[in-house]
Amino acid sequence: MCIPTREEMYAALAERHGEELQKKLSAASVAVCGLGGLGSNIAIALARAGVGSLHIIDFDKVDISNLNRQQYFPEQLGMFKTDALYDTLKRIAPYCDITRDCIKLNDENIPSLLTEDIIAEAFDKADQKAMLVNCILEKMPGKYLVSGSGMAGIGSSNTIRTRRITERFYLCGDGVADVADGLGLVSSRVLVCAAHEANAIIRIIAGETDAC
Amino acid sequence: MLTINGKEYEFNGRTVSEVIAELGYNEQQIAVELNESIVPKAQYKSTVLYEGDHLEVVRFVGGG
């Protein structure tokens, strides 16, 4: 099966998005930290939009409990998420430059690992989210950071929003719906938050950094 | 008076650490910005709040 050339894929995207935006998307590089319900969906949205480089990071393997919301297939159970998602992303966007790191991010390795201009926080544990956000804001304040917090359950989608907290730090989610309260994660609502993060990132790439 | 997440409080002279504890936040699950600058966790105990300060406390919840 012959796939389109790099130029054909680019031309099709530019026709959709406009040449100006596509040029920016093509030149952009984004790190997606965590490849679960948020991260796998964010990465796919960005790959489809034609973001030039993606850096995908997660230490975990695909589990059956992930399949209700994460972009993995049953045949990928047991694979490292970085490998499984890499395969999927390459099928979606063959010319996207993808680097993968199967590693648990922490205070020490974040500064050397995250070289991209834009970072998507997509972890699932509250203290990990806080760790990444604090580390970026403290040690790498020049980076754009988009984080997600509060998306559990099947409450209204309308309470999920994007807030610009400081000049380069955006927070998506409803801020309150917590898995710790016994609310499960459901595909639809996780997708709403992931889409907020992906859209915030695309807006940053486009230069629309003022408003949310 | 100073503001925390848009609400006014009488916390002049108190440290970030004290205020966080009083408002019931878990220090491991937050990020704190004081007048648009991040307050490093190591400085929560030593950062004192004054009249007119604006604190933004972002609380992270689980799920993603």
Q: What are phi and psi of B18, to 5 degrees?
A: -65, -45
Check if B59 contacts A (Cβ < 8 Å).
Answer: yes
Residue A130 has its nearest CB partner, among B29, B33, B56, at B29
CA distances from B18 to A64, A102, A135, A188, B34 (A): 43, 38, 22, 39, 14
Give CA–CA dist A177/A101, Å, rounded: 29
Tell me what percent of the residues of chain A surpass a pLDDT of 90: 95
- DSSP, collapsed to helix, strand or coil, labels residue A70 as coil
Query: What was the pLDDT predicted at A210?
Result: 79
Cβ <8 Å between A129 and B29? yes
Cα four-point dihedral sign B41, A204, A172, A107: negative
Confidence of residue A211 (pLDDT cuts 50, 70, 90): low
- DSSP, collapsed to helix, strand or coil, labels residue A107 as coil
Check if B61 contacts A (Cβ < 8 Å).
Answer: yes
Give A76 or A210, the one with higher predicted confidence.
A76
Candidates B56, B58, B59, partner chain A, best to mutate (most A CBs within 10 A):
B58
Work out the average pLDDT over A16-42. 98
Confidence of residue A212 (pLDDT cuts 50, 70, 90): confident
Quick: pLDDT tens for A161-176.
999 999 999 999 999 9
**Nearest-CA distance from A98 to chain B in Å?**
22
Residue B64 has its nearest CB partner, among A34, A130, A175, at A34
* Mean residue pLDDT across chain A: 97
pLDDT at A192 over 70: yes
CA angle A111, A114, A115 (to 5 degrees): 100
ipTM entry: 0.94
- DSSP, collapsed to helix, strand or coil, labels residue A164 as strand
Of the candidates B62, B25, B41, which has an alpha carbon nearest to the alpha carbon of residue A128? B62
Cβ <8 Å between A175 and B61? yes
Give the CATH superfamily of A18-206: NAD(P)-binding Rossmann-like Domain (3.40.50.720)
Quick: pLDDT tens for A60-108.
999 999 999 999 999 999 999 999 999 999 999 999 999 999 999 999 9
DSSP-assigned states of every residue in A10-23: HHHHHHHH-HHHHH
Quick: pLDDT tens for A96-143.
999 999 999 999 999 999 999 999 999 999 999 999 999 999 999 999
Cβ pairs A/B, distance under 8 A = 85
- Whose tokens are 């604090």? That residue is A134
Query: What was the pLDDT predicted at A191?
Result: 98
- Residue ranges per domain, chain A? 18-206
Residues of A within 8 A of B29 (CB-CB) are 126-127, 129-130
Q: Of chain B residues 8-47, which have a CB less than 8 A from chain A? A: 26, 28-31, 33, 36, 38, 40-41
pLDDT at A32 over 70: yes
Strand locations in B10-64, DSSP E?
30-34, 37-38, 54-59
Quick: pLDDT tens for B4-61.
999 999 999 999 999 999 999 999 999 999 998 999 999 999 999 999 999 999 999 9
Please count the helices (runs of H) and the strands (runs of E) in chain B.
1, 5
Say which CATH class B2-59 falls into.
Answer: alpha beta
- DSSP, collapsed to helix, strand or coil, labels residue B32 as strand
- Fill in the amino acid letter for A173: G
